Amino acid sequence: MSDIGVVWIREDFRIENNAALSFATQNHNYVIALYIYNNFDYDNKREAQKWWLSKSLEIFKKDLSNYKINLQILKGNELDVFSKLKKKDKISIYWNKVYEPDVIAKGKKIRDIFLKNEINFKYFKGNILNEFQEVTKNDGTPFKVFTPFWRNAEQKYINSTPNKDYKIKKCINSKLFFKNCIEPKDILPKKNWFKKFENYWEVSEKKSKNILKNLLENKIKEYGSSRDIPSIEGTSKLSPYIKHGQIHVGTIWKKCNELKSKGIGYRKYINELGWREFSHSLINYFPEFLKGNFRKEFDRFPWVKNEKFLKAWKTGMTGYPIVDAGMRELYETGWMHNRIRMVVGSFLVKHLRINWTEGEKHFRNCLLDFNKANNVAQWQWVAGCGADAAPYFRIFNPILQGEKFDKDGIYVKKWVTELNKVPNKFIHKPWEMELQYQEAIKTIIGKDYPAPIVVHEKARESALNAFQSLKKK
Ligand SMILES: Cc1cc2nc3c(=O)[nH]c(=O)nc-3n(C[C@H](O)[C@H](O)[C@H](O)COP(=O)(O)OP(=O)(O)OC[C@H]3O[C@@H](n4cnc5c(N)ncnc54)[C@H](O)[C@@H]3O)c2cc1C
For the whole model, what pTM was predicted?
0.97
Residues 220 and 356 placed together within one structural domain of the fold: no
pLDDT for position 1: 61
Q: Is 431 a catalytic residue?
A: no
Phi/psi region, residue 68 (left: phi>0; alpha: psi -120 to 50; beta: rest), is left
Neighbouring residues of 97: CB distance < 8 A, sequence distance ≥ 6:
104, 107, 123, 124, 125, 126, 128
Ligand 1 contacts CB of residue 272 (under 6 A): yes
Task: Tell me the pLDDT tens digit for each residue of 331-375.
Answer: 999 999 999 999 999 999 999 999 999 999 999 999 999 999 999
Amino acid symbol at 202: E
Residues 118 and 134 placed together within one structural domain of the fold: no
Q: Is the pLDDT of residue 472 over 70?
A: no
pLDDT for position 193: 87
Confidence of residue 3 (pLDDT cuts 50, 70, 90): confident
pLDDT for position 191: 87
pLDDT for position 393: 85
Average pLDDT for 181-188: 97
CATH number at residue 31: 3.40.50.620
| Cβ contact 332:415 at 8 Å | yes
* CA 308 to centroid of ligand 1, rounded, Å: 28
- Beta partners for residue 74, in sequence order: 36
Question: Could you list the residue range(s) of the whole structural domain that residue 316 is in?
Answer: 296-472
Ligand 1 contacts CB of residue 237 (under 6 A): yes
**Of residues 152, 338, 365, 424, which has the active-site annotation?**
338
Residue identifier of the C-alpha nearest atom 48 of ligand 1: 239
From 194, 182, 192, 196, select the one nearest 73 (Cα to Cα).
Answer: 182
pLDDT for position 470: 85
Q: Is residue 262 domain-resident?
A: yes
Residue 69, CA distances (Å) to 17, 62, 208, 443 in order: 17, 9, 22, 58
Q: Tell the burial category of 131 from Cβ atoms under 10 Å away from its Cβ (0-12, 13-18, 19+).
A: middle
Residues 141 and 248 placed together within one structural domain of the fold: yes
From 355, 360, 389, select the one nearest 373 (Cα to Cα).
Answer: 360
Confidence of residue 162 (pLDDT cuts 50, 70, 90): low
Residues 412 and 347 placed together within one structural domain of the fold: yes
Residues 117 and 143 placed together within one structural domain of the fold: no
Closest ligand 1 atom, residue 359 Cα: 1
Task: Tell me the pLDDT tens digit for each residue of 302-338.
Answer: 999 999 999 999 999 999 999 999 999 999 999 999 9
CATH number at residue 342: 1.10.579.10
Ligand 1 contacts CB of residue 342 (under 6 A): yes
Q: Is 329 a catalytic residue?
A: no
The helix (run of H) or strand (run of E) holding residue 34 is: strand 30-37
Residues 275 and 134 placed together within one structural domain of the fold: yes
Closest ligand 1 atom, residue 342 Cα: 53
Q: Is the pLDDT of residue 392 over 90?
A: no
- Beta partners for residue 96, in sequence order: 124
Confidence of residue 473 (pLDDT cuts 50, 70, 90): low
Residues 461 and 421 placed together within one structural domain of the fold: yes
Q: Is residue 196 domain-resident?
A: no
The pLDDT > 90 percentage for the chain reads: 94
Q: Is the pLDDT of residue 299 over 90?
A: yes
What is the number of domains present in the chain?
Answer: 3
